[in-house]
Amino acid sequence: MSKNLLDVNEYEEIDNILKKHDMSKHNLVGILLDVQAISPEHYIKKEQAEYISNKLNIFLSNVYDVITFYSALSDKPKGKYVIQVCNSTCCRVMKYEKIKDAIEKELKIGIGEITSDGIFSFEYSSCFGACDISPAVRIGENVYGNLDETKIINIINDYRGGIWEKQ
């Protein structure tokens, strides 16, 4: 591992996060969530994963097992707001494709992509428990349901306008 790939401040921040979690491999999910939270691109860099692996004396593959298992963690850059569209059976029956198409048209990106300004990324999600209000999307911790094309575009425009920053 080459220490110069991250700046000194990043190492200090990760060290503080590790100390906050008692330098314990048993707290790996919390550690990774905190490390991801300090990333402007909302993901865990390879160098960060390697550093955590070395500091906790665990295999790098164990770190990546956790990153790839939990949908809240990512090893790829994401937008400030991650829009997840549910593609479970219930949402399929309720025509989630119309919502997906409206998002793609409005943001000019497809599934797995990030807008050029880095504000939004768009991805599929398995069921997140909103079957009673499907079709539904999740943006961060907020779930929006009973959607149609107009409602989802209005929600996106609210995020663009910074309304969610003020809450």
Q: What percent of the chain has pLDDT over 90?
A: 69
Name the pLDDT band for 164 (thresholds 50, 70, 90): low
Q: Please state the rounded mean pLDDT for residues 63-84.
A: 91
pLDDT at 55 over 70: yes
Q: Are 18 and 55 in contact (CB under 8 A)?
A: yes
Lowest mean pLDDT among 68-72, 76-80, 145-149: 68-72
What is the pLDDT at residue 5?
62
Q: Please state the rounded mean pLDDT for residues 100-119.
A: 94
pLDDT at 31 over 50: yes
DSSP state, residue 140: T
What is the pLDDT at residue 91?
76
118: left (phi over 0), alpha (psi -120 to 50) or beta: left
Exposure letters 24-49 (e unless 16+ CB within 10 A, then b): ebebbeebbbbbbeebebbbbbebbb
Lowest mean pLDDT among 27-31, 111-115, 127-131, 143-147: 127-131
> How far is it, in rounded angstroms, from Cα 32 to Cα 23?
12
Assign domain 81-165 to a CATH class: alpha beta
Neighbours of 130 (CB within 10 A): 19
